[in-house]
Structure 1
Amino acid sequence: MNIRWIRIYHLVYIFGESLSLYMDIPQCQVNNRYGIFRGCNLTGIPLVQTDIGILDLGSNYILEINASSFPFLEKLFKLQIDSQKNEKLTIRNHSFRNLPGLIELDLSYNRMLILDSEAFAGLSYLQNLLLYYNNLTGSILENDYFKDLKSLEYLDLSSNAISYLKPNPLFYYLHNFHLLTLKYNHISRICEGDLHSFERKMFTVMDLSNNRLHESGPDVWKSCGKPFRNIQFDTLLLGSNGLNVDSLQSITSALNGTKIMHLKLAHHIMGASFGFHNLKDPDNTTFTALVNSDLQILDISDGSIFSLNPYTFANLSQLLLLNLAENKINRINMYAFHGLNSLLHLNLSNNLLGELYEYTFDGLPNVIHIYLQQNHIGAIRDAAFKQLTKLELLDLQDNAIKQIRFCEQINYVQVMYIGRNRLKAVGQTYVNTTYFDATQNNLENLGELYWLSNIPQIKGIILNQNRLSYCYPFFNISKTNSLIYLDLSENMIQLIWEKGQCLDVFHHLSRLKVLILYGNHFAFIPDGIFNGLSSLKNLNLSHNSLTYISNGIFPLSLEKLDLSNNQLLSPSPELFTSIQSLDITKNNFICDCTLVSFIMWLNETNTTLLGSPNDIYCMFPTNFLYQPLHKLNVDGCDEDLVLLPLRFSLFVFTTLIIAISVTSTIVYNHFRGTCFGLFRRITTSVLGGPKSEGSLEMHQYDAYLCYSKKDFQWVQNSFLENLDSHYCERNRFHLCFEERDFVPGEDHIMNIRQAIWNSRKTICIVSKHFLKDGWCIEAFNCAQSRYFTELKDVLIMVVVGTLSSFQLKRYEPIRAFVQRSQYMKWPEDSQDVDWFLGRLSYKILKEQNVKKQAKVTKIASTLELRAVATVS
């Protein structure tokens, strides 16, 4: 079996390499022994050199190939005459007699292929014959077309019109023949004696998938005997034949005694699926007939199996791999896997499992790999995996697991994948594993790492894409830990280090070789953070916001460092003295004389620089923007006279700017409401109070306030009392709103339209209630129609509450607004309310035209039509 597969892979490799070599060769000519004449409108065989190796004549208008078509081409080993554009292609007797070295012949994708009886005469070295999509019938195997193909190994007859199988006795003498593809044909049954010519053959692959084997009922299969008698299969593919439990049981009875290593039944229609009962799930009789087949791999994936019944696989004692993925399995009954004493690999991924019980995996004493990803598993009993003493890999990714107490009952597992679940804490659970992957969970406490590192067997921990943002360790990391690989990428560890928490997190990881910290929003690296990493070889700090790194911060053992996609300004070459491989691309280098030593180091270093040299470029000054550093001329910089004073001046200036910025930010954050109020009082006293921005022109109101009735009380307290002049004389605006200004008894949509067109602006207060209110959405639509009609910024959208962008964009008029304009968001902090109302007042008074675009015109037309239809 292995030798045959090696030969197949070898041929595939040869032809794949050949294809890659002539992909870029000009069409309709021969170049370096490769003739590419595909799609050249040929009606005959072109003249080619006698030493040609590959000839592609596909997609032409060749009607006939005969004995005089080809000159003597001794070295031609691959010929393609596929996809001719005529109604038919005829191959006459002895057509390939001048091609004695041909190994592969492709005649596929011809609408109708007509073969004379001696069409393949002389092809004694041919190994691969491709005849798919040729409208061939069962006679292609029944007659003696292949009698001269002594070396034939692979025959592809897929996607033809073959309805029966009765191969010619000549197949007795094709001793190398072991690959047959018959998928996508019309075969409905195979009876005893039909495959007599295949007896005593060992097929590496026979593909009968996507046929019509289900059309012959159980009674027909019972009367057909044993068609596969004395034939052996490495792989037999019977999937996509519409097989249910009864038809499959009949076919397996026909296979009784046939030696099969791998039986593939995906895709099938076995199983009741979720919520149905009209089809049966497999039971303890379904695979009984395969008891003598020595089956090692069974693939019944991609179906509708809902329940695994007791003893379903009890007769498959030699099975090594069972694939049940992509079914609808929700229930695994007791004793479902009993009898699978030799099973090593179990795949239950992409099903509907919700719970795992103590008995779920009973009967699997030797299983080493279990795949349970992409189910709905939330509850796992503590002893669910206790009996699996030889388990090496457990994949529980993409489920709904919230705690991992069950891990304490696992004897030992080399690799545990529990990523993309709902873990919030490890909870001091003893995880007896070597490699622990908890990617994309909800872990927030970096202190979990202290516990996990103390588990003696753990050598690799992956906690990337969690929410690590604080650190409360309950244990110290043992100096005898075994951790070698640690991935903490795409978290928020910068928040932890800013608070001075867990700065000793790496100090006892003396065996660690790989540390991945990219995407943690680092603005700085604390001094001494990497102390203790005496064995570290690979450090990834890419995709952060580092502007400066102090000398001596990296361990001397470090060999590979990734600092790409940061904001480094002028790094010191002394940082990289021990580094063998460095990626420092896509940073914000300031290209002045302070960078001279680094540029000189780049041009002279023996360190391997990863990435393109053109990605190590300047970001400042603007006249050097994106200029690669290796192309800069630094002869004009005197490092002694210029470099050191500039460094000191830059240090003093930067320190002052940072101190002033930090102080200003802190003061503003704590007293921004007071600052804004003071600003308002000053401007009012200087300018003499608020000025009116002109008359209302032709508008009755300053603004129409559109909101859900359920939000009225909040709107009254937040908007009306602070803006409407009827509520308070100091307010400047005359607002329109439904409860006061709509005409009773008049059509509601007419009230809305009059309010919109009689107001200078429309303010839509979008909340969860607003999105569920049809009148509110219609009012938004109408206001947006006016926006496109007048081409003025007459619509103001205020979002209230925790509404995501996805929730807003579900509604077409709101999605159209968000794509072209910015909306306002009600502040969460009460001290920002005055500032917000001031900004809103400015937008009400401000008149702004908008630019008309083709896309805007199209949206306007759509909204106008909808508004007219609604009114009608």
Structure 2
Amino acid sequence: MSAHEISVIFLFSVLYVSVYSKSVKTDSDDHMGITSFNEQGLIPVVNNPITDVFPCWSTPVPPYMITHPCFNDGGQVQCRCSNTTQDCSSNFGNLTYMPRLFTGVQVLNFSNNGLQRLTDERFFVNVSRDVWLVDLYNNDMAYIAPRVFRPLHKLRSVLIGGNRLSYEALRPVFGIPTLNEVDIKCGGLGVFPDQYFHKTTAVNLKYLDLSWNNMGELDMSVLQPLRRLTSFNLWHNKLYQLKTAYFPFLEYLSFHKNRLFEFPVTCRNGTKETLFPSLTHLTLDFNVISSIPDPVCLPKLRVFDMKYNRIAYFYSSMFSAIRFPALQKLEVTEMEDRIKKIEAYAFNNSGIVYVGLGLNFINFSSDVVDGDFLAGCTGLTDLFLNDNYFGEVSVERFHSFLRPVGGLTTLYLGRAQIQSLSSKTFINLPNLNCLYLYENSLQFLPDGAFDQLPNLRLLSIGGNRISKVSSTTFSADTQGRLTGLDLAGNPFACSCEILWFQQWMQSKPHLFEDFLNVGYRCANLHNMMVSDFTINPQSCLMDHNAAVLVIAFVCLYLFLFSLLTVIFGYRWHLRLWLYAVCRGRHERSRRQLERQSRGFRFDVFLSYAEEDMKWVQNELLPVLEDEWRLRVCVHQRDFVPGKHIVDNIADCVDESDRVVLVFSPHFARSQWCQFELKYCQSCVMERDDV
């Protein structure tokens, strides 16, 4: 882009809107012009909003840098000036003549003044002869006097969009012999009249912008008298029919957002002789083109934008060097119809350095995409694959995709539903400089995942599900290489394990980016940033695994202690239960049969406490044994020595017909007495002898 063009863009945003497609090569040095960068310069913005929103500014505040007042009428400032600019815009009918101001003015802005008819041929008499740009935008103008621009001998650029001028009324504009650039956007213009430029004197016209009109159809042969035309924009014209013609010097051609169904004819009469020998930039985005048939004759085309069309099949060698010998940057993002097949060698062109295939929601794990679709694209350095599906793509298949493009320096895989990485995922891309993995589903970064990329400088992993970044995730060499790292928008777990990452952020604040503008936040703490998180260092002396083991051991110890305490408190109950379970119903039935066959050994089983033994011997036994002649089982006398006390009690109770319990305070306190009582109750219930 020339210094002259840059100055025009700087001075007028409305001209910046119109010149944008012509100046696309400025953006293309880093990325495709249409797929431009956001203000951070790092994340691609596929939809270009510059011209789609306010193509014809009409607000009372002009988009210029306001300078000192230089003309007023009746106390109201009507013009502002700088060294080379005279801004008399936005007076809305209050200024209908051109005031005489200082000499040296080069840029004149007279837009938004309600100047409906420019009838006075002396209108510009007071203007400096050095003026090379005039802005007459949005004046509701319908007529221009034939020789009104004659005093402006150096006039090169005219901005006259947003008016009601017919083609006939525009003839004075195209009669300016020094004219290089003209912008007539938003003029309601229809189809060109036949031979409209046949007698034009604007033979030096290089840039023509007729966007946001209503042309519908175009025969480009009408423009052939403009022999030096290098840039032609026809955005938003509802264009459905296009007939091309020979333009030897045309470099930039844009039909953005029209209704073209067919790819423009680029060869003369079906031969291989080109109609556009100098064309370097072709924009056909947002049309309804479904194929690019042979022949294609674009020998110098470098930047080709086919975004948002209806191409569903990308066949082998579709963009090969035979068809596009000079192609460098290709945009096929966001196709209107779902892509059904991308064959092997579809991009077989070693000259291509950028391919945009994002926002197509292609499942790269399916057979829609051939594993060799990039084969032959050996010069590729930038690959844009955002908003596709890589969730189920294996490492081996991923390697097959990228094996032919080992020289790749920039790779976009944002919003690609990637769930995991390995240390070998990018091993075949040693030249990778910028890697974008933002807004995927990554939960974990394996150690050394990026250590195989010796040239990596920028890494964007924001907006994933990563909760922890440890000191081993990035090796010391990788940490030293990185100049930009975006991890913002991840749900970090702020604990002892985050301290290393926090210290890294604090030691190198310039390293950490936030392209998504979401910040580095603690997911487990409300409204807490990672940089603000604090914790007592003493609580972090033990690592997480050791702390888990200690806590588990303490919990187990407390559980066992509580369990043993309960068991000790109910030990006699448990003994009885265990005895009943272990001896079993079969054993009890066997003993009952034995007793029935041989009778009871004792008439009475006497249960009493040791402290009551004297009373039992002196008072109770004489009555039971001497007077009543009963056979009494007394444990001091009748228990078998050496036999377990529990078995003694069970056997003696089973061999006794009745039980006599001597209740006393001592009996209530004795655990053995309680055991005998419960066992006796159990026997009574089993015998059904209540």
Q: Distance in 2 between matches of 1:299 and 1:155?
A: 19
Q: Distance in 2 between matches of 1:462 and 1:165?
A: 54
1:452 paired to 2:371 = no
- Once the two structures are superposed, what CA deviation does each residue of 1:511-550 show, in whole Å capped at 9, x if it has no partner? 1111111222123345665464232222222222223457
1:293 paired to 2:215 = no
**In structure 1, the residue corresponding to 2:319 is in which secondary structure?**
helix
Q: Distance in 1 between matches of 2:403 and 2:119?
A: 69
What residue number does 1:343 align with? Answer: 250
Q: Distance in 1 between matches of 2:173 and 2:512?
A: 64
Describe the shift of the 1:326–1:555 C-alpha distance in structure 2 as closer, same or farther (beyond 3 A).
farther
What residue number does 2:384 align with? Answer: 462
- Once the two structures are superposed, what CA deviation does each residue of 1:685-742 show, in whole Å capped at 9, x if it has no partner? xxxxxxxxxxxxxxxxxxxxxxxxxxxxxxxxxxxxxxxxxxxxxxxxxxxxxxxxxx
Q: Distance in 1 between matches of 2:503 and 2:95?
A: 74
Q: Distance in 1 between matches of 2:405 and 2:519?
A: 42
Describe the shift of the 1:309–1:3 C-alpha distance in structure 2 as closer, same or farther (beyond 3 A).
closer
Question: Which structure 2 segments of 5+ residues have no match?
Answer: 14-59, 269-273, 555-690
Q: How many residues align?
A: 482
CA contact (8 A) 2:329 2:355 kept: yes
Q: TM-score, normalised by structure 1?
A: 0.48
- Once the two structures are superposed, what CA deviation does each residue of 1:832-859 show, in whole Å capped at 9, x if it has no partner? xxxxxxxxxxxxxxxxxxxxxxxxxxxx
**1:435 Cα deviation (Å)?**
0.2
CA contact (8 A) 2:141 2:163 kept: no
What residue number does 2:427 align with? Answer: 507
Map residues 686-835 of structure 1 onto 2, 5 A cutoff: none
Map residues 550-565 of structure 1 onto 2, 5 A cutoff: 552-554=472-474, 558=478
**In structure 2, the residue corresponding to 1:171 is in which secondary structure?**
coil
Of 234, 237, 252, the match for 2:160: 237
Q: Distance in 2 between matches of 1:3 and 1:600?
A: 47
1:392 paired to 2:302 = yes
Q: Distance in 2 between matches of 1:291 and 1:465?
A: 50
CA contact (8 A) 2:138 2:161 kept: no
Q: Distance in 1 between matches of 2:400 and 2:114?
A: 69
RMSD in angstroms over aligned alpha carbons? 4.5
Look up the equivalent residue of 1:489 and give its one-letter code: G
CA contact (8 A) 2:345 2:372 kept: no
Map residues 196-345 of structure 1 onto 2, 5 A cutoff: 198-199=150-151, 201-203=153-155, 233-235=156-158, 237=160, 240-243=163-166, 247=168, 251-252=170-171, 255-256=174-175, 258-271=177-190, 281-282=191-192, 285-290=195-200, 293-309=203-219, 311-333=221-243, 336-338=244-246, 340-345=247-252
Describe the shift of the 1:652–1:589 C-alpha distance in structure 2 as closer, same or farther (beyond 3 A).
farther
- Once the two structures are superposed, what CA deviation does each residue of 1:114-167 show, in whole Å capped at 9, x if it has no partner? xxxxxx9xx9989635264353475x34xxx52x64455535364235634436
- Once the two structures are superposed, what CA deviation does each residue of 1:414-441 show, in whole Å capped at 9, x if it has no partner? 1100000132442113412210001111
Q: Distance in 2 between matches of 1:128 and 1:332?
A: 40
Describe the shift of the 1:464–1:360 C-alpha distance in structure 2 as closer, same or farther (beyond 3 A).
farther
Describe the shift of the 1:533–1:286 C-alpha distance in structure 2 as closer, same or farther (beyond 3 A).
same
**1:401 Cα deviation (Å)?**
1.0
Q: Distance in 1 between matches of 2:297 and 2:440?
A: 40
Q: Distance in 1 between matches of 2:198 and 2:132?
A: 27
1:420 paired to 2:318 = no
Q: Distance in 2 between matches of 1:394 and 1:305?
A: 23
CA contact (8 A) 1:582 1:607 kept: no
Describe the shift of the 1:650–1:470 C-alpha distance in structure 2 as closer, same or farther (beyond 3 A).
farther
Describe the shift of the 1:376–1:166 C-alpha distance in structure 2 as closer, same or farther (beyond 3 A).
same
Describe the shift of the 1:436–1:580 C-alpha distance in structure 2 as closer, same or farther (beyond 3 A).
closer
**1:617 Cα deviation (Å)?**
4.7
1:471 paired to 2:397 = no
CA contact (8 A) 1:452 1:458 kept: no
Bigger RCO of structures 1 and 2 (CA < 8 A, at least 6 apart): 2
Map residues 671-686 of structure 1 onto 2, 5 A cutoff: none
Q: Distance in 1 between matches of 2:206 and 2:310?
A: 32
Which structure would you say has the larger Rg? 2
What residue number does 1:278 align with? Answer: none
Look up the equivalent residue of 1:412 and give its one-letter code: A
- Once the two structures are superposed, what CA deviation does each residue of 1:350-406 show, in whole Å capped at 9, x if it has no partner? 1111122655795111100000111111122143xx311111100011111112233
- Once the two structures are superposed, what CA deviation does each residue of 1:239-281 show, in whole Å capped at 9, x if it has no partner? 632425xx36xx438844723111233334444xxxxxxxxx3
Map residues 406-445 of structure 1 onto 2, 5 A cutoff: 406-408=318-320, 409-421=323-335, 422-431=338-347, 432=349, 433-445=352-364
CA contact (8 A) 2:206 2:229 kept: yes
CA contact (8 A) 2:122 2:148 kept: no
1:492 paired to 2:417 = yes
**In structure 1, the residue corresponding to 2:419 is in which secondary structure?**
helix
**In structure 2, the residue corresponding to 1:128 is in which secondary structure?**
strand
Q: Distance in 1 between matches of 2:142 and 2:523?
A: 69
Look up the equivalent residue of 2:259 and give its one-letter code: L
- Once the two structures are superposed, what CA deviation does each residue of 1:314-341 show, in whole Å capped at 9, x if it has no partner? 22221000112211222223xx222x11
Describe the shift of the 1:264–1:379 C-alpha distance in structure 2 as closer, same or farther (beyond 3 A).
same
What residue number does 1:90 align with? Answer: 74
1:135 paired to 2:110 = no
Q: Percent identity?
A: 17
What residue number does 2:437 align with? Answer: 517
Look up the equivalent residue of 1:426 and give its one-letter code: I
**In structure 1, the residue corresponding to 2:213 is in which secondary structure?**
coil
Q: Distance in 1 between matches of 2:376 and 2:124?
A: 69
CA contact (8 A) 2:182 2:208 kept: yes
Question: Which structure 1 segments of 5+ residues have no match?
Answer: 14-57, 60-75, 83-88, 92-104, 109-119, 204-232, 272-280, 559-575, 654-872
**In structure 2, the residue corresponding to 1:107 is in which secondary structure?**
strand
CA contact (8 A) 1:507 1:529 kept: no
